[in-house]
Amino acid sequence: MTKHILTAFFTLACIASLSTDILACACCAERGTYTVSTGKPSAYELEILKQMKFGPAAELFLTAASYEDIKGLPDVIKEFEVTTSSEFSLVEAFTGRTWTLSFMTGGERTGSLVLPRPTTMTSRRIDIPDNASKAPNVVLYKEWVFNGTVGSGTGFFSRGIVRPTKYTLLFQGHGNNCDNAEDFTNWRLEITGPKADFAVFGKMKAAKAE
């Protein structure tokens, strides 16, 4: 009888171990992964968005043309040309339906953008080959992309934000085949419209794994 008990215990242990492996591999990424999907965010994805927080700083994106290609931020450009800075402090709030981003320059000029969340988003998961890597697990590059219309702009944004001004908000990071708040480490916001053309970017606050 003892032999039967030991056999049963061993069988249960094997099943438990197998179940753990199956659950773990459900999030395993495969080499060559390249998936792009667009649709309405799920309840789980919306919960992740609520956990994701912008870092306290943002930077104006500049090309080799410096400020020549930028439209809609004349007061900011005047200050940045003198101070040789291109950075803002940033405070953000997300209600689940709207992002409100409040920026301030070193000279204490302020401006806020209200970005209503669009009904759909695009998710990308891509295995970018690294032929020199010996890592056993595949780490995917990830993007969540939101394309919407700017609700309003105040302060130094007000002159450039006229309807219809569009925005593209990207959350970027790396991880396995399952999405978590801590995967997304960077963000980028691009604003385009009749009187505005600029982009800002920055880091996310480190999210705590649940």
Q: What does the pLDDT read at residue 129?
A: 87
Helix (H, G, I), strand (E, B) or coil at 206: coil
Q: Which two tokens stand for residue 100?
A: 């409100």
Q: What does the pLDDT read at residue 167?
A: 98
- From the CB of residue 57, how many other CB atoms can be counted at a distance below 10 Å? 12
Q: Domains of the chain: which residue ranges?
A: 1-30, 31-203
Q: Express each pLDDT in 1-53 by its tens digit.
A: 554 444 444 444 444 444 445 445 789 989 899 999 999 999 999 999 999 99
Going across the sheet that includes 110-116, the strands are 34-39, 121-126, 140-149, 166-175, 184-192, 197-203, 57-60, 87-94, 98-104, 110-116, 152-155
Q: Which two tokens stand for residue 68?
A: 């020549």
The answer to whether the beta carbons of residues 166 and 149 sit under 8 Å apart is yes
Q: Summarize the confidence of residues 171-186 as an average pLDDT.
A: 96
Q: Express each pLDDT in 79-109 by its tens digit.
A: 999 998 999 999 999 999 999 999 999 999 9
Element (H, E) at 106: none
Helix (DSSP H) and strand (DSSP E) numbers for the chain = 3, 11
3-state helix, strand, coil in the chain (%, to 5): 20, 40, 40
Q: What does the pLDDT read at residue 1?
A: 53
Helix (H, G, I), strand (E, B) or coil at 57: strand
Q: Which two tokens stand for residue 14?
A: 């094997």
Q: Which amino acid, residue 195?
A: K
Q: What does the pLDDT read at residue 88?
A: 98
Rounded distance, CA 10 to CA 178, Å? 31
Q: What does the pLDDT read at residue 12?
A: 45
75 vs 14, which has greater pLDDT? 75
Q: Express each pLDDT in 103-131 by its tens digit.
A: 999 999 999 999 999 999 999 999 998 87
Strands (E), the chain: 34-39, 57-60, 87-94, 98-104, 110-116, 121-126, 140-149, 152-155, 166-175, 184-192, 197-203
Q: Summarize the confidence of residues 191-199 as an average pLDDT.
A: 98
Residues counted in the chain: 210
Q: Express each pLDDT in 140-154 by its tens digit.
A: 999 999 999 999 999
Q: Which two tokens stand for residue 65?
A: 């043309």
Q: What does the pLDDT read at residue 137?
A: 83
The answer to whether the beta carbons of residues 169 and 132 sit under 8 Å apart is no
